[in-house]
Amino acid sequence: MITTEICRALCFSQSPARKSNLGALWLIAAIYLQLGAGLVSAADIQSTNQGAKPIFAKDLFALDLFALDQGSLIAHAMAGSWEYGVYLLGLPVGLKARVEVQWDGRQVKATSQVQHFLAANNHQSVFSFPNCDYRLQSYQNSGFSPGWRFADAVVFDWLEKKIRYQGITQGPKTPDAQPQSVTLPLDDAIYVDKLSQFAALACVLAKNDKNTKQALPQNIPSSILPSTSPSTSPSIPLSIRLSYVDDTIGRYRFLVDQSAAQMSVAGQTISVIKVQSEPYDYVQGSVHRRVTYWLAPSLGYLPVKISTKLSGMKLTVKMLKTSGPQPAML
């Protein structure tokens, strides 16, 4: 979920400029899977490479490992299915989101889905990052909540340097709202959505982390891992800037805590990195808030925990399950 996605989910809308007074339950539901599921797909949306067979981490050794670059190694670590749960004031609210990441050797398709009788959200993003040359290609986001229904689509035209948005949001005061189209200039910023943002962060962090190998699956031979240059000083940047877009653009600053921490996920204790995001440039009246992420290098920097505040109340999203059978003990 876009660092703003959690916040935008509060309105159950991808657009930060749209606001509503939805009740806490469906607001939480929306938040939930801006994270990947709640960070992050309409079931009927077709991948641009629908004929390609998805490649998961377990298929790693069927490939030419010596040909894998940094981006491909991270994609392997991200690939799989992930389940998240939502907690308000530390208590579970009964919402779960499912995130699935597939890699076909060229592009990554990440999808997330939250289904509830009060609200639903589906998101799909397509992006690539060969050798960590990250580019978001497109995303689609749709859903509903009591009195609200929305559908957004964004395509990045890298040849013409344009961002093309099409979407519609119908609410209690705008039941007859019509679709709108917006074209924005594509500048040199790093553009992400609520799912692709973790790949963008992974590349920046992995490139600058002297312990890059922690970001990769443990069963990859050390002989094929990218070499790293020794450094006597911390190499992770203190600040990373990412931009989110729909019909407007919101820019965020990610502050990296370089100290390591441990969390238990799916029965295993793994190292995590704490990253705090804050908006610094956005359209007046947009919904933007600070969000804190705990990212797991061993999972391609996917989040195992996300935290923000909803009307002053602590809202947390936690990874509950990975592709494996055991639930996380967070």
Residue 226 has a pLDDT of 39
Q: What count of residues does the chain have?
A: 330
Q: Is 70 exceeded by the pLDDT of residue 17?
A: no
Q: pTM for the whole thing? A: 0.73
SS3 for 133?
Answer: coil
Interatomic CA distance for residues 23 and 9, integer angstroms: 12
H or E stretch including 111?
strand 108-115
Pairing of strands 191-192, 239-245: parallel
- Above 60 in pLDDT, residue 21? no
pLDDT at 167 over 70: yes
Identify whether the C-beta of residue 87 lies closer than 8 Å to the C-beta of residue 93. yes
Q: How far apart are CA 127 and CA 207, in angstroms?
A: 19
Q: C-alpha distances in angstroms, 279 versus 5, 98, 196, 284?
A: 12, 27, 18, 12
**Per-residue pLDDT at 234 exceeds 90:** no
* 254 and 243 Cβ atoms separated by less than 8 Å: no
Structure tokens at 289: 């808030």
pLDDT band at residue 15, thresholds of 50, 70 and 90? Answer: very low
Helices (H) and strands (E) in the chain, counts: 4, 15
Helices 70-78 and 197-208 pack at an angle, to 10 degrees, of: 130
At residue 238, the pLDDT reads: 67
Name the residue ranges covered by the structural domains of the chain: 5-321
What is the average per-residue pLDDT within 269-291?
Answer: 86
The Cα 208–Cα 244 span in angstroms is 23
Q: What is the pLDDT of residues 104-142, one digit of tens each?
A: 988 999 999 988 888 889 999 999 999 899 999 999 999
Q: What percent of the chain has pLDDT over 90?
A: 38
Which residue has tokens 């991200």? 78
**Residue 173 binned pLDDT confidence (cut-offs 50, 70, 90):** confident
**pLDDT higher than 70, residue 145:** yes
pLDDT band at 215 (very low <50, low <70, confident <90, very high): very low
Helix, strand, coil % over all residues of the chain, rounded to 5: 20, 45, 40
Mean pLDDT of the chain: 74
Residue 327: pLDDT band with limits 50, 70, 90: very low
Please give the structure tokens belonging to residue 30.
């929306």
**pLDDT tens profile 281-312:** 988 766 778 899 999 988 889 999 999 987 78
Cβ neighbours of 1 (radius 10 Å): 37
More confident residue, 309 or 190: 190
Give residue 150's pLDDT. 92
Helices (H), 140-287: 197-208
CB atoms near residue 232 (< 10 Å): 6
